Amino acid sequence: MINSLASDNTSAALAADFPGWAIWQSDGGHWYATRRARLAERMHRYRLWTTLDAADLTELRNELATQTARAELPLALFGTLS
């Protein structure tokens, strides 16, 4: 649930930058992102996660960027994350 228009505009920009993730805010104000595609169990060894959480959108953006960078190695090796 998005709590304000300002948050919606910011979260919408984040969602546009990371279209492979569903992004939402909890009623308590914490931010989450969950991959839209299934992640193979073996990808956890590369510290790739299905769901991320953060206290704010800046932290969530940083986590999403880290996940994107980490995904490059298994993609080069296996060609897919699923």
Closest Cα to residue 37, out of 14, 19, 12, 17?
A: 19
Residues 28/55, Cβ–Cβ less than 8 Å: no
Does the model's pTM come out above 0.75? Answer: yes
What ranges do the domains of the chain cover? 5-78
- pLDDT tens string 36-76: 999 888 788 888 999 999 999 999 999 999 999 888 776 66
Which pairs count as long-range contacts for 3-12, CB under 8 Å and 24+ apart, including other chains?
Answer: 3/29, 7/57, 10/57, 11/57
